[in-house]
Chains A and B, each alone.
Chain A
Amino acid sequence: MKPTAGRDDLLALAERLVRFGRVCGADEIEVGVGDGTEFSVDVRLGEIENLVEAGSRSMGLRIIKDKKTAFASSSDLDEETLKRLIRNAVRRAELSSRDEFSGLPTLSKRGVDPAALSIYDPEIEQLDSKTKIGLALETERIALADKRITNSHGASFVTNDGTAVLASSNGFLGRFQKSYCSLSVGLQAGATDDMVEDFWFSSQTHFEALERPEQIARTAVERTVRQLRPRKIKTQKVPVIFEPMMTSGLLGFLFSCVAGTAIYQKSSFLVGKLGRRIANDAITVVDDGRMPGKLGTSPFDSEGVPSRRTVVVQKGILKNYLCNTYAARKLKLRSTGNADGGGVGPNNFYLEPGPHAPSDIIRSCEKGLVLIRTLGHGLNPVNGDISRGAFGLWIEKGEIAYPVSEITISGNLGELLKNIEMVGSDLEFRGSICGPTIKVAEMMVSGT
């Protein structure tokens, strides 16, 4: 066995690797190092099922030589291994093609202070195992106390604590710490052959913001039992109301269509639509990496570009694509601070809430479907087509009448965005992509 490596400062390691890359002949080099700890406990039927505790480090780098790019990454932080990867990357870069758009971002003077973002909660690290296990047990216990619940997928409590460091040959040197915790439970109701299931969760950067076990358990129970005894419905076109989790899924699809990488690759139906109306004027979509305490918040992206707030869709008009430095150069735009590894990722990407209470939205439907869950894939960013398996609640005369299942919903994101009639007031930040309840004027619902 090797002797234990000395406790190396991550920043110093990243800087050393940048210098080594330059010595090896890289014109530009960027090194990211991550150091994280993970705790997770799964409990089921009142007993611990899995208990995981671990720490790990990783390194990723990009090298540019003669405008040619090579990437490398490793979970082995042995310095000899890392130096070999750098030497290989410099050699490999020569085999890539010259690409005038390649290269690191030019250094920004305006940094973002990580402390102001409030994305690290020291309390999480202090939680003892007993407390963490207790939260999961308590959540499941409350849920199982409801007689309508027949089986459990278990409850989980997870925490992560990570430090990210980035150094690059353009002089960038940054570091931030971020924490994460989540509590969730998955349930079944009904007998085996009439089983329905669902789950609920809360995830936050700060422990005190996490929903309590009672709240999560009650929501999970309610979400599960409301699906009992579903009916089938006839194939028809009706208004469809998306619950917030469903709107979030739709926004995830929209994100993949406004990502700058998808635009220059022409794999989005929103190519060439900048400045044009793509949605009705109730729709404003924002990507904001600077919202204090949110899951998608960070001071800079994976290229060191400071996080910012970008209005993507303003009252229906497509204002910005979300870009890393490369996509921005290809599209003659500016990076929006959305670099994520080699690609583009969301910060806090959300649909701004509207004026309507969710209950009013339901009341506005003579007949329609509340979409509560989807199953499967069936999203095509190239043309915007949507076709997904679905579970829902049927609305008759403005009231929820009964659950429905074994249906699909289909439509096209381009058309759907123009047909959002109502936007709810119930926006909650449960993940890095989120939206409130929305009502779409009409979609095809396939049943019998």
Chain B
Amino acid sequence: MIYPRIPFEDHFRLSHDDLQRVLGIAQSSGGRFAEVYLEYRAYSFVLMEEDIIKETAESISLGMGIRVVSGEKTGFGYTNDLAFDKIRRAALSAAVIAASPTTAKVVDLKAVRLARDVYRVREGSHRAPLEKKIGLVKEAYAACRKSSRAVKKVKASLQDSIQFVMIANSDGLLVTDARPLVKLTCVAISEKGRLREYGFSGGGGRVGLEYFASELTPQRIGKEAAQEALNLLEARPAPAGEMPVVLSPGHAGVFIHEAVGHLLEADFNRKKTSVFWNKFGRKIGSDLITIYDDPTIPAFRGSYNIDDEGTVPRKTLLIEKGVIKGLLQDRLSAGLMKMSLTGHARRQDFSDIPLPRMTNTYIEKGESDPAEIIRSVKKGFYADKFQGGQVEDSGKFTFSVSSGFLIEDGKLTAPVKQATLIGSNVDILNKIEMVGHDLTFGLQTGTCSKEGQDVPVTDGCPTLKISKMTVGGLE
């Protein structure tokens, strides 16, 4: 990181001795493990719609979460008032879970220096003048607005934040991180006669504002949003029923996020609720698929230097040639399952208990030529742009496509809109017939929800062919 780190104690006004004292209170009932998570987040927002800068916002989130773990039990308290009596109360709330008062000895805290920095920031957005952010929003807006007279409404916004975290635990760990995050997005509404459609684009990541000068310009974001909304005016309803499906490279990674990623989160496997819990080391899909989750990809939205338990994360192999090889771990599950930490514990903010989560999840590239994949389909559905998806523990999953094409005799033909696809993960993973050599990552705008907690994520995927899947169209 180029910009200087702000001393953490300026935000939290807590010394190492204070933290040690808090950990002592948290362990006063005998909890095996205690942890303090301090967070200070400064967030800013610029919104343009109706051709004007409608509003700006600034938000500050400050607080402390205190956790005590005893076996499978977690006690948790939090406070956004860092006065000592409030902290003490939060620590005692967390301590309640452990019921055998002992005088636990807290190991001396040792500050850990991080060797790796995955953030790519020259011009930290939290320090940039608001005028500059407004300028970026206006550029995206204008590019979208002037794309076509059929674009009737545009909304462009920039959100950025810097999140300082400090984590101390009863093992003596003391570590800090300062995580930048920025997102510029544009929405277009197009109209033709009585038809009205919606287009979206955006980007960003753990980057500075210079990203929008070099990597992805506001103009491109604006034009892409307009283009999607315009294309949809020409699209017809999607087909309905079972058929061969080809997924476009990029955000089709939402498919693997839902079909595989969630159910390899360690908590669901420890509790044996995931359909995968008894399939570790077993082949559950086509040997064409290898899947990773990698929190260390520089500049990506899902990346971080440490996870929300202070663990330095590593690229984690989940599926190798169709065989389950790894789980996404946090301390609780890794400890109980006697497996290694992978650095995938995340929390939405200080008021939440950390959970094992995905970061940047992707299918490794294969060997097929993408054009060849399309040519191999006589009659099918090409899923081009994606919205979210969902999965349940049984492995039934969905993802939604906002636009796509029919494939007829090996060629993309009529554009089609809106369809949700549904399948059962083991079944669909075995129906992956071809994997392209064109691994691409989706827009840096994604958010994943689990148990009410939202965290930023990215996903990636090469062109993929599924021999048969249910498409929920209208025709």
In Å, the complex CA distance between A89 and B44 comes to 11
Q: Contact between B57 and A72 (Cβ–Cβ < 8 Å)?
A: yes
Quick one: which of A192-227 are within 8 Å of B by CB?
Answer: 192-193, 195-197
Set A193, A235, A388: member contacting B420, Cβ < 8 A:
A388
In Å, the complex CA distance between A42 and B62 comes to 26
In Å, the complex CA distance between A447 and B468 comes to 11
Which B residue sits closest to A52, measured CB to CB? Answer: B76
Quick one: which of B329-343 are within 8 Å of A by CB?
Answer: none
Quick one: which of B196-247 are within 8 Å of A by CB?
Answer: 196-198, 238, 240-242
Q: Contact between B422 and A375 (Cβ–Cβ < 8 Å)?
A: yes
Q: Contact between B198 and A380 (Cβ–Cβ < 8 Å)?
A: yes
Q: Contact between A69 and B55 (Cβ–Cβ < 8 Å)?
A: yes
Set A89, A266, A390, A411: member contacting B196, Cβ < 8 A:
A266
In Å, the complex CA distance between A195 and B273 comes to 9
A185 near B: Cβ within 8 Å?
no
**Which residues of chain A are within 8 angstroms of B155 by Cβ–Cβ distance?**
265
Q: Contact between B420 and A95 (Cβ–Cβ < 8 Å)?
A: no
B122 near A: Cβ within 8 Å?
no
Q: Contact between A55 and B473 (Cβ–Cβ < 8 Å)?
A: no
**Which residues of chain B are within 8 angstroms of A383 by Cβ–Cβ distance?**
195-198
Q: Mark each residue of chain A from 68 to 84: 1 if its CB lies under 8 Å from any CB of chain B, else 0.
A: 01111111110001000
B311 near A: Cβ within 8 Å?
no
Q: Contact between B189 and A408 (Cβ–Cβ < 8 Å)?
A: no
A56 near B: Cβ within 8 Å?
yes
Q: Contact between A74 and B60 (Cβ–Cβ < 8 Å)?
A: yes
Q: Contact between A58 and B57 (Cβ–Cβ < 8 Å)?
A: no
**Which residues of chain A are within 8 angstroms of B72 by Cβ–Cβ distance?**
47, 49
Q: Contact between B61 and A408 (Cβ–Cβ < 8 Å)?
A: no
B315 near A: Cβ within 8 Å?
no
Q: Contact between B58 and A51 (Cβ–Cβ < 8 Å)?
A: no
Set B52, B273, B390, B473: member contacting A375, Cβ < 8 A:
B390
B100 near A: Cβ within 8 Å?
no
| Closest chain B CB from A127 CB (angstroms) | 15
A23 near B: Cβ within 8 Å?
no
Q: Mark each residue of chain B from 253 to 291: 1 if its CB lies under 8 Å from any CB of chain A, else 0.
A: 000000000000000000111010110000000000000
Determine which residue in A77, A88, A96, A407 has the highest number of CB atoms from chain B within 10 A of its CB, and name it: A96
**Which residues of chain A are within 8 angstroms of B78 by Cβ–Cβ distance?**
52, 54, 56
B82 near A: Cβ within 8 Å?
yes
Q: Contact between B196 and A376 (Cβ–Cβ < 8 Å)?
A: no
Q: Is the interface of B mostly helix, strand, loop or mixed?
A: strand
Quick one: which of B391-419 are within 8 Å of A by CB?
Answer: 391-394, 396-400, 402, 417-419
**Which residues of chain B are within 8 angstroms of A85 by Cβ–Cβ distance?**
58, 60
**Which residues of chain A are within 8 angstroms of B351 by Cβ–Cβ distance?**
54, 56
Q: A4-B86, A75-B60, A378-B418 are in contact. Are A389 and B240 (CB under 8 A)?
A: no
Which B residue sits closest to A376, measured CB to CB? Answer: B398
Q: Contact between A75 and B80 (Cβ–Cβ < 8 Å)?
A: yes
Set A1, A129, A409: member contacting B84, Cβ < 8 A:
A1
| Closest chain B CB from A390 CB (angstroms) | 8
Which A residue sits closest to B39, measured CB to CB? Answer: A75
**Which residues of chain B are within 8 angstroms of A428 by Cβ–Cβ distance?**
none
A333 near B: Cβ within 8 Å?
no
Q: Contact between B241 and A446 (Cβ–Cβ < 8 Å)?
A: yes
Task: Report the count of interface residues on A (CB-CB < 8 A).
Answer: 79
Task: Report the count of interface residues on B (CB-CB < 8 A).
Answer: 92
A92 near B: Cβ within 8 Å?
yes
In Å, the complex CA distance between A54 and B96 comes to 13
B74 near A: Cβ within 8 Å?
yes
| Closest chain B CB from A161 CB (angstroms) | 15
Quick one: which of B73-103 are within 8 Å of A by CB?
Answer: 73-87, 89-90, 93, 96-97
In Å, the complex CA distance between A157 and B72 comes to 18
**Which residues of chain B are within 8 angstroms of A50 by Cβ–Cβ distance?**
73-76, 353
| Closest chain B CB from A438 CB (angstroms) | 20
A2 near B: Cβ within 8 Å?
yes
Q: Mark each residue of chain B from 1 to 39: 1 if its CB lies under 8 Å from any CB of chain A, else 0.
A: 000000000000110001000000000000000000000
**Which residues of chain B are within 8 angstroms of A411 by Cβ–Cβ distance?**
474
Quick one: which of A378-436 are within 8 Å of B by CB?
Answer: 378, 380, 382-383, 385, 387-391, 405-411
Q: Contact between B77 and A342 (Cβ–Cβ < 8 Å)?
A: no
**Which residues of chain B are within 8 angstroms of A48 by Cβ–Cβ distance?**
73, 97
**Which residues of chain A are within 8 angstroms of B238 by Cβ–Cβ distance?**
387
Q: Contact between A444 and B84 (Cβ–Cβ < 8 Å)?
A: no
Set B97, B391, B417: member contacting A385, Cβ < 8 A:
B417
A-B contact pairs, 21 of them (CB 8 A): A2-B82, A50-B75, A52-B75, A58-B80, A71-B57, A75-B62, A92-B130, A95-B56, A96-B56, A99-B54, A153-B393, A192-B275, A193-B275, A197-B273, A264-B50, A266-B191, A383-B196, A387-B474, A408-B420, A446-B240, A447-B242
Interface residues of A (CB under 8 A from B): 1-5, 44, 47-58, 69-77, 81, 85, 88-89, 92-93, 95-99, 129, 151, 153, 188, 192-193, 195-197, 235, 264-267, 269, 271, 342, 375-378, 380, 382-383, 385, 387-391, 405-411, 444, 446-448
- 12 additional A-B pairs beyond A4-B86, A411-B474, beta carbons within 8 Å, are A1-B14, A3-B83, A51-B73, A54-B76, A72-B59, A73-B60, A193-B275, A375-B391, A387-B472, A408-B240, A408-B421, A444-B240
